[in-house]
Every structure is written in C-alpha cells, then in structure tokens.
Amino acid sequence: MNSTMSRMRAILYATVMLALAGASACSSNHQNAPKGKVSIIPIPVSVTEKPDSFLLDKQTVLVATTPEDQQAAGLFNAWLKELTGYELTIADQGDQNAIVLHTGADSAAHAEGYRLQVAKDRIDINGNDGAGTFYGIQTLIQLLPVEKGNALWIPGADITDYPRFSYRGLHLDVGRHFFPVDFIKKYIDLLSMHKLNTFHWHLTEDQGWRIEIKKYPRLQEVASRRKESMVGHYNDQKFDGKPYGGYYTQEEVKDVVAYATERHVTVIPEIEMPGHSLAALAAYPYLGCTGGPYEVGTKWGVYDDIYCAGNDSVFLFLQDVLDEVMTLFPGKYIHIGGDEAPKTRWEKCPKCQRRMKEEGLKDEHALQSYFIQRMEKYLNSKGRNIIGWDEILEGGLAPNATVMSWRGIEGGIAAAKQKHDVIMTPGNYCYFDHYQSKSKNEPVAIGGFTPVSEVYSYEPVPEALSREEAPYIKGAQGNVWTEYMDNSSHVEYMVYPRATALAEVLWSPADKRNYDDFVERLKPHLHRLDMKKVNYAKHVFEINGVVESNGQGGVVVKLDSKLDGGKIFYTTDSSAPSVQSTPYTGPITVEKTETVRAAVFLDGKAYGNEYVQPFTYHKAMGKKVTLAEPPNASYNPGSPFALVNGIAGVKEYNDNQWLGYSGNNMEAVVDLDSVQDIHTVGLNTLNFKGPGIYPPKQIRFLVSDDGQHYKEVYSQRSFDKDGINQVRKALQQVRGRYVKVEAQHAGKIPAGAQGAGSPAWLFIDEIIIN
C-alpha cells in the first residue's frame, strides 16, 4: 500500500510540475508576444492611453449578436488570421477574455461614431450605428501589432471617435483603363480601412463604356472597345496599335455593390453627359449632332462630339440607361458628369439651335443647363439626386444638384452660397493623377505636383464661406484619372499614401492634425499596407527640399527627411552625393549658378530618390515680387517668390514652380532694391496645347526708377516652340529699379482643339534679369 501511495504521489508530483512548466512556458510565450502601439490613422477625436494591455490568444471570444456586428467580427477575423494563423470564435455572449461588439440605438449620437475601450481582460466596441461599430473594428485592427505571433498584446486605451465630414470619397476612372472586379474589391477594402465611405465609380468615357446595359447591347459590343491606346504623354501623340476593351456585367456590378455595402461604402456610379460620350455615339450614331460615323476615342482628352441636346431620342436613351443603372445602385446619388462639354457641335446643329429658340435659352451654356435640369427632373422623379462637376453651375444650377468642385474651390464657394451641397475636390490637393515627386524616375503622369504633404495640408471648408454657408460643404474626394495608369499596381502607387493623408483630413478634427505626427504614425501603418500587398509610393521618406529667399539677393535650400536614423549628405558641384560628401547641418546658401544634389543615407546606403536642383543665378534672384492677380489655386506655388528663386520649371510642370492662370493675364513687378544697369530681361512660358496650356498673345517688359512711371523695353508676340519657350532679350543702355512683366493670356481655346471654348491656361516661370 505504501508502495502504491508512493507511486501515486510521484505521478501527482509529475503532473503538477508539467502543468507548472506548461503554465510557465505559456506565460513566457505571452510575455514575448508582440505588442501593438496606439498609432491610428485617421487620428481619433479623443485617445486616452491606459496602463493595462489586453492579451489576445486562441481562447479570446468575439461577442457579436446582430448579423451586422457578426459581419464586422468576420472582417476582424480575416485580418487576425494573417497575423496569427487562426480566427476567434464568434459567440452570442462572453465577459472575460472577450472582444464585445455592440451597436447602440442612440439617434442623437454622432453618425458613424464609436467608443473603443481596451482593458486588461476585455475590449468593448460600442458603435453609434453599424458603421460606427465597423470603424471601431478598423481602429482595433490598427492597435494590433504588425508582427506575427501566436498571441498578441493590444495596448490599453479609451478612444472616442467620429468623423468630421459625412462624405469621404475616393474616385476611380475605369473608362480610360479597365480594372478587374478583384481589384475593385481591393480598392474598396482600402477605402474602408481608412474610414472613407464613398466609392465614385467613373463608368463611361469617350475612350470606353464600362457597364452592361441590356436594352442597348451595342454599348457592350462597340462602345466598350477601342482600336488602340495612346502611349507616353499626350504631347507625344504615340499609339500602341493594340485593341483594348472591357466592361462589367450587371451581375458583377451587383457583386461589387454588395461587397461595398458590407464595408459601409456607398458606390456612386457616374454616367457622363452631355460630354465625354463619344463611345456611346460610336455605338448609336443617332445620339450625336452630325449622325457620325464615330469611333471610340483613342486619344486622351476632350472631344467635340457630344450628345445632341436638340434630339429627344437622346433623353429617352439616357433615361433607359439610368433606369437600369438605378436598379444596380441603391444609393441616393447618381453622378451625371456635366464637365468638359464643348459647344462646338451645338453651335452649328439645327436641332440644338431650334431647342434653344423653343425654350428661350440665351446661349449654349443655358442649353447645357437645360440638358442637366431635364435629366435631374427625371432622376428626382425616381427618388434620386444628381451630383455633377462644377461646370453644371454654368447657365444656371439644377434645383437639387450637388456640386463637385474640381476647378479650384470657386465652384464650391458659388454652390454653397446658393445653398447647394458641395463635395470639394480641387486639383491641386485632390487629384492623385498628378506627379507626387520631382524625381526624373517617376512614371509618366498628366502633370501637376501634389505630394503627400500638400494633400495633408488641405482644408475643405473655404474661408470665404460664412458660418451658415459652411455646412453645405459635405466633404471631399480624391480623384484618380487613369489615362497614364494601365494596371492596378500603378493605380496603387499613385493613390497611396496620398489617400491615407486625405482620409485624415476628412475624418479627424482640424485641430488634431499635424503633418510630422502623421508621418510618424504612417511608418507602422505602411506595414499594414504591406500586409494588403499595396504597391504604395515611398516618397514621403525621401529628401524634401524647400527653397527660400535669404533676404540678401540670394536663396537658401533647406533639406529634411522623415527617415528614422537617416543622414543627409550633399554636393554643389553637380557630383553625386555620398557619405564622403558634405554632411547637411543647416540651410545651404546659393549665391552663384550651381546644382545642389543631396541624398539621405541609412547604414551607409542611399535611400530613395536623390534631390537634384539646378540654380541659375541672376539679379532678380531672391528679390521682392508683387503680383497684380494671384495665379489659379490649381497651379499656385504658394508665393510669387517662385518667379525669382533661380529655378526653371520643368516641361512636365510637376515641380510646383509654374504660375498658372486660367483666362487671366499675369502681371508681376520685381524690385531690384536700387536703380542699376539692366542688360538682359527674360522669362519662361509653356506651349502645351493638348492639356490646354497656350502661349501668351504677348509678353511685355517695362522698366521704372520709381515704380510709378514705366517705359517698355521689349515685347514679344510669337512663341512657336512646343514645350518651354525661353524668352531672352539683350538690352542697351537701360537702367531702372523696378521691372514689370505683363503676359496676356490667349483667350478661349479654339474650336476643334481639345477643351474648345474653355479658357486657355497661361503658364509663366522664372523672370530673368541681368
């Protein structure tokens, strides 16, 4: 018996020791489990960090009682499986070691808001509505570590959060290039991950019709295909000779809309009218003013052939199309375009002119207003509202229309003052088809320069609006036009992380936003984009160079990099920088013609693209410049100093150096500080008629001793070179202190040219005085 007892004691002892060893090992594993950070994008309204952390492991339960909450829990599980290899059990109840989802019924609470509390033994997510609970889950995902592990520590926190704007959008043009359904779903995943709630799907274009309309099969058979596509930039006028096409079936559209709805993303379709309709005319020529023949567009840009406003069959066609579209998209809005509709055909069309006479319309702009209002009445009768680009303001705004302001902010201001809802999407902040780096290694883009920092600096509510008018600004949207993006990887490169910056602009309180803090939070966030296999751009961590006046007739270059541990080295003799070059310790003074080259190094290796900036020294460099009128907001470097900073703008106009004027003249006065000899005057101007940039009708240089009485010293009226035209003129026996430069814009774009009837752009840069 004693022997038996001894054996039992031994077995019991061994069992206890194994259990303790297992517990110790488990504890050790948990202690070594990766831990997340409170580093959230978009930054929440309120975050209080707590000392206790929550340990998530296989025993943790997800508590979700409604189908909507269970759906959100499932999305969390999908992310978790990537990190741990397992999913949590979704249960109806649980208290300890549980993540509890609850969607409240407080109708007075902030829409889409939530509260997230992470304690030692429990996580609570209380959504004000279903979207709020979903966004609480998105924030919880960002509290998870980015490293994989069997168990994960989630930092303690108490977060209260809700959006600043109700409309937080991202657009995608599938007319120029077509993208498969799988990518559209990934695009929507990324929207919802960043708490964006609207996907603007641009489905019809001159270059391709991308949605199945059963009543009009030739839209699929003819309008969805073009014989070839442009390659390179529009100005090159080269083509690949390869047929191109594609469209979404109605079943595919339903699938995408359902997928988006699960992620609290509203899909707004855009069916363009009356312009950007050449593909439809190719399929059904009777819809145009001339009757054709037409072919689906192969060039990018704007075409003169648009829907005939005098033909009743056009309206019947569009009503039929919209009837089918409305069965697929249950949302409140249908986007009808309304932009870039040349009036060239309407001006000569007997049907259009008869319509104008019958309706008492004073001009073709009023005819476009008639067209839009007629279609709006039809959509209103079906319980829907329209959104249109800001051209729908011309000739009179449709009664219930929402305006999408893209040509700067002026259209948004005008619409809000008329008490219409507005979505802001100005090009210089919200167009993600612009260049995002000045590097020569960038893929071809349409032009412009919109880095992440500029997107982040955007304030959607214009200062010109009163307190009563400001609420008409419902939000903003990033636009992705795909002329120069022919694959999904390129789209991702152009969109992220710029869309991440815009998401914070639209969600977070304005006083919470800080760019340096955003970049710090972006660093771990990029690992999440890696998990989603997003081909994002990395320019935000490259060198940023800022050129400023030194106040003494020269300029200084300030360099900065957000790369942790990176060190900047530079040269001024045009040689490539290395770790043996001059280390950057403060602003670099430029007092002669030279090139500053710099690179950031980490562990002895260069990171990202090099900073390269040539400077041309001249008498006006760094001097005071006064403008009679500011440039258009879309092409405004922020200061007239760009005219005298020693930097010549590049032909791609993606370097934030050109001053762009739309329909206005440019007048600038340079103060040289004293009366002195002037031997040379000059400036640079652009001639790129494709995107609507025309050389000036005339440039004049005038000189004055007192700033009051000016004498002309040179004028020029011919600028025939494509691209950059360098105006330079040697002078004899000219003295003065003030140099005035006047550039007269070309007027309206002529008939037959891209953008006919719109104001031509005037681009001016670098006033040269020696």
The residue-averaged pLDDT of 20-38 equals 62
Cis bond upstream, residue 42 (ω within 30): yes
pLDDT of residue 10: 52
Q: Is the Cα dihedral 304, 270, 537, 639 positive or negative?
A: positive
* Residues annotated catalytic, as ranges: 340
Say if residue 22's pLDDT is above 60. Answer: no
Q: Which CATH class is domain 624-769?
A: mainly beta
Give the model confidence (pLDDT) of 67-122 as tens digits.
Answer: 999 999 999 999 999 999 999 999 998 889 999 999 986 666 899 999 999 999 99
pLDDT of residue 7: 56
Give the model confidence (pLDDT) of 495-528 as tens digits.
Answer: 999 999 999 999 999 999 999 999 999 999 999 9
* In this structure, CATH architecture of domain 167-539: Alpha-Beta Barrel (3.20)
Helix (H, G, I), strand (E, B) or coil at 591: coil
pLDDT of residue 19: 46
Say if residue 21's pLDDT is above 50. Answer: no
Instruction: Determine the Cα–Cα distance for residues 408 and 614; give it in Å rounded to an integer.
Output: 30
The residue-averaged pLDDT of 478-506 equals 98
CB 645 within 8 A of CB 555: yes
CA-wise closest residue to 599 among 657, 537, 545, 536: 545
Burial class of 735 by CB neighbour count within 10 A (0 to 12, 13 to 18, 19+): exposed
Spatial neighbors of 705 by CB under 8 A, at least 6 apart, are 675, 735, 736, 737, 738
pLDDT of residue 323: 98
The residue-averaged pLDDT of 559-565 equals 88
CA-wise closest residue to 399 among 407, 388, 410: 388
Share of the chain above pLDDT 90, in %: 81
Homologous superfamily in CATH for domain 46-161? Chitobiase/beta-hexosaminidase domain 2-like (3.30.379.10)
Structure tokens at 417: 């003052």
Say if residue 553's pLDDT is above 80. Answer: no
CA-wise closest residue to 273 among 222, 318, 217: 318
Give me the torsion for CA of 715, 741, 411, 203, rounded to 10°.
60
Share of the chain above pLDDT 70, in %: 95
Spatial neighbors of 86 by CB under 8 A, at least 6 apart, are 58, 80
CB 315 within 8 A of CB 288: no
Say if residue 396's pLDDT is above 90. Answer: no
CB 324 within 8 A of CB 334: no
Amino acid at 559: L
Instruction: Determine the Cα–Cα distance for residues 170 and 495; give it in Å rounded to an integer.
Output: 9
Sort residue 97 into left (φ over 0), alpha (ψ -120 to 50) or beta. left
Give the model confidence (pLDDT) of 249-260 as tens digits.
Answer: 999 999 999 999
Instruction: Determine the Cα–Cα distance for residues 175 and 247; give it in Å rounded to an integer.
Output: 9
Q: Could you tell me the pTM of the whole model?
A: 0.85
Give the model confidence (pLDDT) of 686-732 as tens digits.
Answer: 998 888 899 999 999 999 999 999 999 999 999 989 999 999 999 99
CATH topology of domain 542-615: Immunoglobulin-like (2.60.40)
Give the model confidence (pLDDT) of 408-452 as tens digits.
Answer: 899 999 999 999 999 999 998 999 999 998 888 889 999 888 999
Instruction: Determine the Cα–Cα distance for residues 539 and 536; give it in Å rounded to an integer.
Output: 9
Going by pLDDT thresholds of 50, 70 and 90, the confidence category of residue 17 is: very low
Domain ranges of the chain: 1-32, 46-161, 167-539, 542-615, 624-769
The residue-averaged pLDDT of 370-374 equals 95
